[in-house]
Structure 1
Amino acid sequence: MFEAKPQNPALAAALIFAATAFIAGTTLLAKALGTGALGPALPAFQVSHGRFLFAFIAIGGAVAVMRPRLARPHWRLHLGRTTFGWGGVTLMFAAVAHIPMADATAIAFLNPVFAMVLAIPLLGERVGPWRWGAAVVALLGAMILLRPTPGSFQPAALLALAAAAVMGMELIFIKKLSGRERPIQILLVNNAMGLVIATSAVWPVWQSPMPAQWAALAGIGGLMACAQACFVNGMARADASFVAPFSYATLIFAALYDMAVFGVIPDAISLVGAAIILTGALILAWREGRAVRR
C-alpha cells in the first residue's frame, strides 16, 4: 500500500485537462497513420503496438531514473485491465480512420455507462433511477451519432461503440486496482503487459513503417505516456466526481485537431449527439459523486 497524495483540486483539474489534450493528440496521429496521410495506411493493430512500445520505453526510462519502490503487482487485475485497454484503444484507432474524430471520441465517452451496467453483476453495485436515466440519455446520443438510416449509417461508428464497451470493462478492473499500487507501477506494468499483447497481435499484419510513420508512432506512445501520467496523478489529488467533467475536454481537442489538420467540421448531427452523450455522462458523474459522499 502506498501513501495517498495530498488533495489539490486545482492541480488535479489542470492535470486532467492536459491529459485530454495529449489523448486527443494520440487520436490525431492514429488517424493520420490509418488514413494514409503519412504513407501507406497502417492497420490498427500496428498503431496500437506503436502506442504500447513507445509508451513503455518512455515510462520504463522514467522508472529507471526515478527508481521508485515497487510492490508485488496484482497480476490478475493488471492482465484484465491491460487486455481490455489494448482492445479498446485498438478499436478506437480503427474507428478514427473512417469517421470524424469528434464522433468517435463522443461515442467512446459511453464507457462509464457500460462500466455502470457491468458493475451490477461484477461488483454487486446497485443502480438507481437517476443513473439508469443518465445511461439512457447517453445511449440516445450515441444512436444519433450512429445515424441509423440507410443513407447516412456509418458502420465504422460501431467500432467506436465497441471500443466504449470494451473500455467500460477496463474501468471495472481499474476500480478493483485503484488504491492498491503506486501510479508509476500501474503505468509500468500496464504498458509492459500491453506491449506483449500488442506484439503478439501485430505479427501477422506487420508492415515496415516509413520514417514519418515511425515518428508518428513514437509520438503516439510519448503522448499516451504523458496522458497516463497526468491522469493517474490528477485522479490521486481530487475526487473522481470533481475531475470527471474535465476529462470531456478530449472531445473539444479532438474536434479542433480534426478541423485544423483534416478540415473536418462537425455537422449539426455530430454536435447534437455529442451534447446528449456529454449530458448523460455528466449526470452519471454527478450521481457517482453524491453516492461517494453519502
Structure 2
Amino acid sequence: MHKTSQQNPTLAAAFILVATTFIAGTTLVAKALGTDALGEPLHPLQVSHGRFVFAFVAISTAAMVLRTRFSRPHWGLHIGRTSFGWAGVSLMFASVAYIPLADATAITFLNPVFAMMLAIPLLGERVGPWRWGAAVTALLGAMILLRPTPDSFQPAALLALAAAMIMGFELIFIKKLASRESPLQVLLINNTIGMLIASAAVIPVWQMPSVGQWVALAAIGVLMACAQACFVNGMARADASFVAPFSYATLIFATLYDFLGFGAVPDAVTILGASIILTGAAVLAWREGRLRKPKSPQ
C-alpha cells in the first residue's frame, strides 16, 4: 500500500488538462512518423518502440533523482497491464497514420466502456441500466465515426477501435494495481517491461531513422512520460468521476494539432460521432462517481 496524496480538485483538473496536451502531442508526432512528413514512414511497431524506450529513460531518471523507494511488485499484473498497453498503443499509432487524429482519439475514448463490459466477467461487477445506456450511446458514436457505408467506410478506424478494446483490458489491470503500489513504481515497471516487449517486436521491421525521426521518437517518449506523470498525479488528488471529463480535452488538442500540423478540418460526421462518444463516456463517469460515493451516516 502507498500513501495517498492530499485531495485538491483544482490542482487535479490542472494536472489532467496538461496531460491531455501531452497525449495529443504524442499522436501528432506518431502521425508525422507514420507518414512521409519526416522522411520514409516508420512502422507502427518502431514508433511504439521509441515511445517505450525514451519514456523508460525519462521515468528511470526521475526515479533516481527522487530516490524513490519501491515495494514488492505484483509481476503478473504488471506483465498483463503492459502487454495490453503496448498492443493498444501500437494499434493507436497505426491508425493515426491513415485517419484524422480527432477520429482516432474519439474512438479510443471507448476504452472505459470496454473496461466496464470486461469488469462483469473479470471482476464480478454488476452493471445497471444507466451504465449500459452510456455504453450503448458511446458505441453508437463509434459506429458513426466508422462511416459504415461503401463509399466512406474507413478500414483504418478499426485499428483505433481495436486499440480501445485492448486498452479496456489494460484498465482492468490498472484497477487491480492502483491500491497495491505507488504511481511512480507502476510507471517505471510498466515502461521497463514495455521497452523489452517493444524491443523484441520491432526487430523484423526496424529501419534506421533519420535525425529528425530520432528527435521525434525521443519526443514521443518524453511526452508520454510527462503525460503519465501528470495523469497519475491528477488521479491521486481527486475522484476519478471528477477528473474523467477533463481528459476529454485530449480530443480538442488532437483536433487543433491535426489542423495546425496537417491542415485537417473535422467534418460534420467527426463532430457528431465524437460528441456522442463523449456524451456516453461522461454519463458513464458520472454514474461511476455516484456508485462509488460513500453514503452519509443517518
Q: Normalised by the shorter chain, which TM-score bucket?
A: over 0.9
How far off its partner does 1:217 sit?
0.2
Three-state SS of the structure 1 residue aligned to 2:27 is helix
Query: Equivalences for 1:52-201 in 2 at 5 Å?
Result: 52-201=52-201
Distance 1:281 1:262 in 2: 28
For structure 1, the residue ranges without an aligned partner over 5 or more in a row are none
Distance 1:117 1:3 in 2: 30
> Where does residue 31 of structure 1 map in the other structure?
31
**Could you report, residue by residue, the CA deviation over 1:246-280 in whole angstroms, capped at 9, with x for unpaired residues?**
00000000000000110000000000000000000
Distance 2:120 2:110 in 1: 16
How far off its partner does 1:65 sit?
1.0
Distance 2:97 2:153 in 1: 16
**Could you report, residue by residue, the CA deviation over 1:209-266 in whole angstroms, capped at 9, with x for unpaired residues?**
0000000000000000000000011101100000000000000000000001100000
> Where does residue 9 of structure 1 map in the other structure?
9
How far off its partner does 1:124 sit?
0.1
Distance 2:53 2:13 in 1: 28
Query: Equivalences for 1:206-225 in 2 at 5 Å?
Result: 206-225=206-225
**Could you report, residue by residue, the CA deviation over 1:97-152 in whole angstroms, capped at 9, with x for unpaired residues?**
00000000000000000000000000000000000000000000000000000000
How far off its partner does 1:180 sit?
1.0
Runs of 4+ aligned residues of structure 1 deviating over 2 Å after TM superposition are: none
**Same amino acid, percent of matched pairs:** 73
For structure 2, the residue ranges without an aligned partner over 5 or more in a row are none
> Where does residue 266 of structure 2 map in the other structure?
266
Distance 2:239 2:7 in 1: 9
Three-state SS of the structure 2 residue aligned to 1:140 is helix
Distance 1:70 1:36 in 2: 42
> Where does residue 235 of structure 1 map in the other structure?
235
Counterpart code for 1:5: S
Aligned length: 294
Counterpart code for 1:101: L
Distance 2:114 2:250 in 1: 19
**Could you report, residue by residue, the CA deviation over 1:159-178 in whole angstroms, capped at 9, with x for unpaired residues?**
00000000000000000000
